[in-house]
Amino acid sequence: MKNPPKSDHFAQFNKVAAIDGNVIKNRSKDVAVCYRLHLPEIFTMGEPEFDLIHSDFLKSMMVLPEGTVIHKKDIFKQKIYDSENLLKETYLQKSTAEHFKGRVYINHDCILSFILPEIPTLRKSYDKLSILSKKNTLAAVEDIEKFINSVEQSISVINSSNLLKAEALTEEEIYDIILDEYTLFKDEIGDYVSDGNDFRIGENHVKILSLRNDGQQKDGILNNCVLDRDRSPDGSKFFRSYCYPLALDFKKDHIYNQFIFIEDQSKVKKTLELNSKRLGSSRLLSRKNRILADQNSLFLDSVEKDNVKIVRMHTNLVFWADSKEELKEINNKVSGYYSQMDIIPYNNSHFDRDYIYMANHLGNGALLPVEETFLSYLDISLCYFTTETNYKSDESGILFNDRISNIPLYTDVFHKPYEKKEILNRNYIIVAPSGGGKSFLSKNKLRQQIENPLNNTVVLNVGGDDKLCRMYPDDTIYFEYKEGQPLYLNPFWIYNSQITTGKIEFLTEFVGLLWKTGEELTNDEKSSLDKIVIKFYDIDGLAIDDIDADEDNRTYKVRNPHNNSLPIFYQYLIDNSEKIKEETFGLFKLDSLILNLEKYAVGMYSNLFITGEPQTFESKKYVEFELDNIKDHPILFPIFGMIISDLVFNTMWKKDESEKDFFVDEAWKVLEKKGMVSLLKYLFKTIRKFDGSVGIAIQQITDLLPLGEANEAAIIGNTGIKYILDHREVLGDVPILQKKLSLSNADVSMLLSIKNNTKPSATDPLAYTEFLFKKGSTNAKVLRLEVAKPCLAIYESDKKKLKTFNTLYDYHKKQMIPAINSYIEVEVEKTKKITDFVF
């Protein structure tokens, strides 16, 4: 239990007698139970979600007893980002932390309190002394316990929501909230001055605007969300909360208070009926009386017809500034915010603002004078609730940015989503039109994975560059095929005398690729090759029917573990040809297979593969294979991709404690090649069982059509995470994209709301790109990507800019950091020319 300190100002307005747990007991015999409310992230909800959150609030309030005061307080405070949560071990991490350090953003804290008043009605007197100095004994214990039980029922409804969560405040948190509001977040409690137009708390000039009469609100139906026209281009519908202008859109220090008082339904109906009779008898006296009489009758008719709950409500906005001039400027902006909501705010005078200021404080909501409220329906009053909050950062993950202030936030795409069953696998897909930023986003992700001590990443790249590997030479390997040199690869190698059904499928497809390049295997040919592979390894207990089992990592013992190379497999076919033909009933064209394997086993391509254990990469965290120089080779390209994949997986599986990622950049080029389809299908289906993920980057979703319907479904169906970049220039692709990736209408609206800012201006000085990030089936939001200048130098993939970087790299004797700094001067800041470095 804790009591606030004493001071003239604090003592005058502080009604707190004691704080016990999350319960405030004040000197007016009121009791408040206080919670912190966790809301959905801003810009993540469509109209159905806004309706759902409104319904969840409504259900939670319906269980509260008559006389309850609900006070929802949203505190918005400017803060300075200090980068303390960012890693600072590498050069690029330090550059990133320094880049964002000092950025101003708005922090949001949402507090929900339920108040049991001394009497079951609001105070009806403006007698300042009687309210501010009154001292009474506390309410009866049994009444408090009964009230707390009803509040806990309400909170249980909130916590059963998929969108809302509430947690009880601690004594320390309640104390800090009360003290922060009394001091307006200053270290000391300043003087309180309220005289005419002069309203000051300490050094701050304060203003309170309120909604105290339904006449201030436009006529018509009030919705809990409205169409965001700025983010709804091309006929799409992007929604925001009704109160967004008074919430995160208002980027100054402010507090938005929402009050709901649940009336005694029988008494308020009786009062309304008496008023209706009185107004009806005087409706001929004036036009105003006629309007009031009609409104009152309509209200009563709605109550009876819809059986709604009648409440009193009030909202107010408190904001402050260091000077009167600044306060006036802010007030003009706030008037514009209210105008967006079609509200004419009431400018509270010195007569009523003291009461509102006092009632705003945590635990004091029941002290709000009834004259400051108006009658409404409960469901309508909830439309004035804020229902969105800031973007939320995970504890770890890939660093992206929020959509409001570009503040860095971690997005966990590996651990928590999988552990909490938000996703069933960690596989991902990146989709963007040509030049849309796939490579840039990919490199941002890959760079952070290199810096992650637990991660092991393999990349198949087509037309990329090796700057990431040059940046981290101790942790990476960059492979580029050169004609005539061996690959040190052996697709037939197995470890620990064990083989899986997935490996057998892989070998069947691999041998089929060498045999019938560009052609599909028939069912008979595939079944025959499955049987041959099983016989070759002399696998214990495996029947041919088990090959198609869904459990692709089912493991079997190999009796002959030494037959592990292509030349030995080739010789096995020759030595056992008669037996193989007999076991395949003469349907298998074994002679054709032997003829086509000859060039790889003993002929012109025999130097591609080795016969012993393949090269491993256990000492490296990141391996990148550049396929650009063989991307058009009809044989080498698909073989290279398949064999590398198998080699790397055999190596990666040994690292039980590591996070594994296999990424195919420019996958649309890879998918044109025979064999890669089966490889990707195998990876997408099995890698989750080895604590890994596989990702592909493509230009359009139709790039997956060559896979065939079944393979396409296997890959997309095993993709838990989607990164979708700007599609506004290719709107015709969006319906197909929506269908293939199971995007909701709200997801599509978010996608079409993307706005990139690649050329900063005075009005929008930050350079960023936006993308739709979808995790699982329901969790979607638009994230931004802004990077520090040194990261920009590493991520750029434009051919001309890459040539510039390489020139500077050579100039600085292959030292990366000096080359990066010079690149920034030449290409980013434009303060120097490349000729300044080249003679």
Q: What is the mean pLDDT of residues 193-202?
A: 88
User: Which residue, among 440, 438, 436, 416, has the nearest Cα to 426 in the 3D structure?
Assistant: 416
- What pLDDT is recorded for position 139? 56
Average confidence score pLDDT of the chain: 86
Give residue 555's pLDDT.
Answer: 83
Range of lowest pLDDT (336-350, 518-532, 640-654, 779-793): 640-654
Quick one: which of 794, 100, 725 has its CA closest to 447? 794
Residue 559 neighbours by CB distance under 10 Å = 9
**Cα 719 to the chain's mean position, in Å?**
16
CB 17 within 8 A of CB 25: yes
Percent of the chain clearing pLDDT 70 (strictly above):
86
Using 50, 70 and 90 to split pLDDT, how confident is the model at 136? very low
Q: Which residue has the higher pLDDT, 314 or 215?
A: 314
Q: Which residue has the tokens 């638009």?
A: 782
Strand partners, 31: 25, 116
Percent of the chain past pLDDT 90, that is, above it, reads 55
Q: What is the mean pLDDT of residues 638-645?
A: 73
Element housing 675 (H / E)? none
SS3 for 93-106, per residue? HHHHHHHHCCCEEE
Q: Which two tokens stand for residue 337?
A: 């915010």
Region 124-132 average pLDDT: 42
Mean pLDDT of 69-96: 97
412: left (phi over 0), alpha (psi -120 to 50) or beta: beta
Out of 311-315, 537-541, 628-632, give the one with best mean pLDDT.
311-315
Q: Tell me, what's the pLDDT at 190?
A: 81
* Mean pLDDT value of segment 310-336: 95
Q: How far is CA 669 from CA 4, 38, 462, 637, 725, in A?
A: 68, 45, 8, 10, 19
Work out the average pLDDT over 481-499: 80
In the block, tokens 């804790």 appear at 2
Q: What is the pLDDT of residue 638?
A: 75
Residue 126: predicted pLDDT:
46
Confidence category of residue 744, pLDDT binned at 50, 70, 90: very high
The mean pLDDT of 636-653, rounded to a whole number, is 70
Contact 725, 737 (CB under 8 A): no
Task: Say how far apart CA 596 and CA 673 lie, in whole Å.
Answer: 18
Contact 546, 554 (CB under 8 A): yes
User: Using N-to-C axis directions, what is the helix angle for 523-537 and 566-575, rounded to 10°?
Assistant: 100
Rounded average pLDDT over 515-534: 89
Which whole number is the average pLDDT over 610-630?
82
Lowest mean pLDDT among 108-112, 296-300, 412-416, 441-445: 296-300
Model confidence pLDDT, tens digit, residues 551-583: 556 788 898 887 789 999 999 999 999 999 988
What average pLDDT does the segment 396-414 reach?
95
pLDDT bin (cut points 50, 70, 90) of residue 135 is: very low
Checking if the pLDDT of 322 tops 90, the result is yes
Q: pLDDT value at position 587?
A: 86
| DSSP letters for 17-44 | EEEETTEEEETTS-EEEEEEEEPPBTT-
Per-residue pLDDT, 585: 85
Give the pLDDT score at 1.
38
Enter the tokens of residue 449: 């994975």
Question: Using 50, 70 and 90 to split pLDDT, how confident is the model at 85?
Answer: very high
**Which of 364-368, 375-379, 715-719, 787-791 has the largest mean confidence?**
787-791
Predicted pLDDT at 156: 97
pLDDT surpasses 60 at 706? yes
Quick check: 549 pLDDT over 50?
no
Confidence of residue 137 (pLDDT cuts 50, 70, 90): very low
Residue 133 has pLDDT above 60, yes or no: no
pLDDT of residue 8: 52
DSSP secondary structure of 142-158: HHHHHHHHHHHHHHHHH
**Which tokens sit at 458?**
């393999």
Give yes or no for a contact between 401 and 101, defined as CB atoms under 8 angstroms apart. Answer: no
CA 331 to chain centre: 33
Interval 819-830 mean pLDDT? 95
Q: Give the pLDDT confidence score for residue 642 in this predicted structure.
A: 73
Three-class secondary structure of residue 513 per DSSP: helix
DSSP 479: E
Instruction: Using the predicted structure, report yes or no on whether residue 3 has a pLDDT greater than 60.
Output: no
Burial (CB count <10 Å: 0-12, 13-18, 19+), residue 475: middle
Phi/psi-derived region of residue 150, left when phi > 0, alpha when psi is between -120 and 50, beta in every other case: alpha
Residues facing 114 on adjacent strands = 33, 70
- Condensed to tens digits (0 to 9), the pLDDT of residues 415-428 reads 999 999 999 999 99
Per-residue model confidence (pLDDT) at position 236: 81
Distance in angstroms (rounded) separating the CA atoms of residues 596 and 576: 17
297 compared with 222, residue with greater pLDDT: 222
Q: Is the pLDDT of residue 127 over 50?
A: no
Q: What is the pLDDT of residue 675?
A: 57
Distance CA(745)–CA(758), nearest Å, equals 27
pTM for this predicted structure: 0.85
Q: What is the 8-class DSSP label of residue 827?
A: I
pLDDT of 287 reads 53
Residue 123 pLDDT exceeds 70: no
Instruction: Give dist(CA 448, CA 621) in Å, integer.
Output: 12
Does 298 have pLDDT greater than 70?
no
More confidently predicted of 441 and 10? 441
For 217-266, the pLDDT digits (tens) are: 776 668 889 999 888 877 788 999 999 999 999 999 999 999 999 988 77
User: Contact, 781 vs 43, CB < 8 A?
Assistant: yes
Rounded average pLDDT over 356-374 = 92
Q: What is the pLDDT of residue 11?
A: 61
Taking the CB of residue 637, how many other CB atoms lie within 10 A of it? 23
Label residue 657 by pLDDT band (50, 70, 90): confident
For 18, phi then psi, to 5°, come to -165, 155
